[in-house]
Amino acid sequence: MPANEPLIPARLAYSANGTPYSELFDDIYHSTDGGLQQARHVFLGGNDLPARWQAKSRFTILETGFGLGLNFLATWAAWRDDPLRPTRLDYLSIEKHPFSASDLASLHARWPELATYSAALRSCWPILTPGFHRLYLEEGQVCLTLLFGDAQRLLPQLQAKVDAIYLDGFAPTKNPDLWCGSIYRPLARCCHADATLATYTVATAVRDGLSHAGFATEKRKGFGRKREMLSARLGVQHIRPQTRSIADRDRHAIVIGAGIAGCALSERLASRGWQVSLIERHAAPAQEASGNLAGIVRPMLSLDDNIASRLSRACFLFASRHWQSLIAQGLLLRWLPNGVLHLARDAAHENLQRQIVEARRFPSDYCRFLSADEASALLNWPVTHGGWLFPGGGHANPASLCQAYLQRFPDRIERSFTREALSLRHTGSGWQVCDWRGQVFAQAETLILASGAEAKRFEQTQNLPIRRIRGQVTHIPAGDMPALKLALTREGYATPALDGWHCVGASYELEENPNLTVASTKSNLTRLEQMLPGSLRNIDASLLGGRVATRAAATDRLPLVGALPDSMATIAPHTSRLSEIPRLPGLYGLLGLGSRGLVWHALAAELLAAQLEDDPLPLEADLIAAADPARFLLRRYRRGNR
């Protein structure tokens, strides 16, 4: 399936004997002898679980067909019942045609013993859109990453080290695309030392294909009426060299910058047991670009579902789930998912918006197109053109997000505020952070810059492709403009009143003026008038307040997430991969969030924390590469500017 292929959900159906059935593949989802028993015998038993995970602090399973989710639920239940279980269980599962949450509820009702697990899964079940979806369960100890799409495309995009494989799916004769070398080879590439594999079929073509990919197979007693099943282990010669053990690492990091990027990263690292020293030059978090009263949270869309659209979708959906989980834990954050309406600029743009929704076939709970009449009725205000409605979008107060992130693991995040980092020094044992006197006030093996445009002040990072963007937001008192039930965007944006103020903005200017200007206010009001014709009445721009902040944006408007490049190092001849670009040891960045920081930051923090912890990564490889800070150096090298 191409990367831009729309996702087609599964359709609930049953065979004559009542077994869940796929009309697309003309096959049943599990053995007629029992789905849960098959999961336990074939997939857990075939991988010698739970015994094999009992000697490990973490364990990773990869499944090639999520289906009803029975294998996952059975594994989760076995993990919870095992007093010798690993601290963290990662479960990665690919599914080309996922079920809706309501269909899963109907299907899982057959196994009441799994009701608790099923309910928890369905409570965070993702909107059915293509790509990776990371879900946390059991207070973060069970991490389910769903890969929605075609396995032949997604497996090469997966970056993980796997301990066990559940090779599951419809029968090889019904779905041959799942039982071939383009599946087996990427599976082998993902394997960790001592990885095993299990499947229900012993078909000769399957055994031969696995053998060619490096797996040594053996037949075992099958389940139910199947006489045999298959178990396999990757040959030693095919196992990748192991990187440095996590247990050997100094799990202490310095994070510079306490805006939404730095606070989110601190929380994601702390959730993995890291100790974080958070450095901020101000006395409190969210004092600069993250200090605005409210910001808009919605994804981007494109007809070809390009890199930016796919990345923003993944980030938007992860952030929404993550914030809801923080709220469920009692943390106070102001996230108001009342929806976002993105109005078309003109008739041509309106037609394009309609085309995109029709071509992408997004579910209505993700995005749908509203006509001008429908949009006017929703807003209770006449508008000229229709637009996209994002029901799960909304607006958020960034400062409240920062506070919630820092409150989740307060004992693991040391706040070093009113301390300004003015220089960095690398020693043989890590990084030292120095103040204006040149005195060291923090040191660690790992250092992450999350300080926006200020990250360029250091000698090591002055060549980062980040530019400063001035943004002025205008505050309009509630009652002085139309009341909004949901956030509104076009070239600019307007929010429902928060604390008595509508936020309207924001300017996008390449200048450094920190003061409010009437010119920028008038520009914001012009964009508001374009969205809501006749809404300004007699508002005097010179009397309105607001806020000015400086954003930091990369030149391609994508974030910078990962190990920072060494721009002074010599790039080896014939370099063609990002992995070959020299990096500054132990120095990372979560930067360049620009005007989309509220959307990008949460998953960007999860990605960087996963990279540091050597977890399975939460995004496709091409999206990770698109956010890699070394991408600009590689492009320059390829152009011959060495």
pLDDT by residue (tens digit) across 186-228? 999 999 878 999 999 999 999 999 999 999 999 999 998 899 9
| Strand blocks (E) in 43-176 | 58-63, 88-95, 131-137, 142-148, 162-166
**Pair 311, 289: CB distance under 8 Å:** no
Q: In this structure, what are the phi and psi dihedrals at residue 626, rounded to the nearest 5 degrees?
A: -65, -25
Whether 247 shows a pLDDT value over 50: the answer reads no
How many Å apart are CA 25 and CA 171, to the nearest integer?
9
User: Which residues, 6+ apart, have CB-to-CB distance to 471 below 8 Å?
Assistant: 289, 505, 506, 507, 508, 509, 548, 549, 550, 551, 595
pLDDT digits (tens, 9 = 90+) for 94-139: 999 999 999 999 999 999 999 999 999 999 999 999 999 999 999 9
Peptide bond into 506 cis (omega under 30): yes
Peptide bond into 6 cis (omega under 30): no
Which pLDDT band, with edges at 50, 70 and 90, does 248 fall under? low
Q: DSSP label at 617?
A: P
Alpha helices in 190-339 (DSSP H): 204-212, 260-270, 307-328
pLDDT digits (tens, 9 = 90+) for 315-337: 999 999 999 999 999 999 999 99
Which sign does the torsion angle of CA 487, 492, 497, 499 carry?
positive
Whether 246 shows a pLDDT value over 60: the answer reads no
How many Å apart are CA 533 and CA 526, to the nearest integer?
10
Whether 92 shows a pLDDT value over 70: the answer reads yes
Task: Count the helices and strands in the chain (H runs, E runs).
Answer: 17, 30
Whether 294 shows a pLDDT value over 80: the answer reads yes
Q: In this structure, what are the phi and psi dihedrals at residue 326, rounded to the nearest 5 degrees?
A: -65, -40
Neighbour-count burial of 440, counting CB atoms closer than 10 A to its CB (0-12 exposed, 13-18 middle, 19+ buried) = middle
How many Å apart are CA 92 and CA 63, to the nearest integer?
6
Over range 475-499, report the average pLDDT. Answer: 94
Whether 244 shows a pLDDT value over 50: the answer reads no
Q: What is the structure's pLDDT at 636? A: 85
Q: What is the structure's pLDDT at 547? A: 95
Please give the structure tokens belonging to residue 271. 């959730």
How many Å apart are CA 363 and CA 385, to the nearest integer?
22
How many Å apart are CA 163 and CA 153, to the nearest integer?
21
Structural domains of the chain sorted by starting position, each given as residue range(s) with its CATH number in brackets: 21-238 (3.40.50.150), 251-288+399-465+555-638 (3.50.50.60)
Q: What is the structure's pLDDT at 575? A: 81
Q: What is the structure's pLDDT at 225? A: 87
Q: What is the structure's pLDDT at 237? A: 52
Q: What is the structure's pLDDT at 27? A: 92
Which pLDDT band, with edges at 50, 70 and 90, does 571 fall under? confident
Q: What is the structure's pLDDT at 642? A: 52
pLDDT digits (tens, 9 = 90+) for 179-190: 999 999 999 999
How many Å apart are CA 145 and CA 620, to the nearest integer?
11
How many Å apart are CA 74 and CA 52, to the nearest integer?
16
How many Å apart are CA 260 and CA 595, to the nearest integer?
13
Whether 1 shows a pLDDT value over 50: the answer reads no
Whether 3 shows a pLDDT value over 70: the answer reads no
309-342 in b/e form (b: 16+ CB < 10 A) is bbbbbbbbbbbbbbbebbeeeebebbbbbebbbb
% of residues, the chain, pLDDT over 90: 86
How many Å apart are CA 35 and CA 48, to the nearest integer?
19
**Pair 338, 394: CB distance under 8 Å:** yes
Over range 351-364, report the average pLDDT. Answer: 96
Q: What is the structure's pLDDT at 4? A: 73
Which pLDDT band, with edges at 50, 70 and 90, does 574 fall under? confident
Alpha helices in 271-346 (DSSP H): 307-328
Average pLDDT, the chain: 93
In angstroms and rounded to an integer, the radius of gyration of the C-alpha atoms of the chain is 26
pLDDT digits (tens, 9 = 90+) for 416-473: 999 999 999 999 889 999 999 999 999 999 999 999 989 999 999 989 999 999 999 9
Q: In this structure, what are the phi and psi dihedrals at residue 596, rounded to the nearest 5 degrees?
A: -110, 25
Q: β-strands 440-444, 560-565: how paired?
A: unpaired
CA 501 distance to own-chain centroid: 31
The secondary element (H helix, E strand) that includes residue 108 is helix 101-108
**Pair 402, 286: CB distance under 8 Å:** yes
How many Å apart are CA 540 and CA 369, to the nearest integer?
34
How many Å apart are CA 407 and CA 396, to the nearest integer?
18
Which residue bears the tokens 């594994």? 75
Q: What is the structure's pLDDT at 194? A: 86
- Fill in the amino acid letter for 160: A
Over range 376-404, report the average pLDDT. Answer: 97
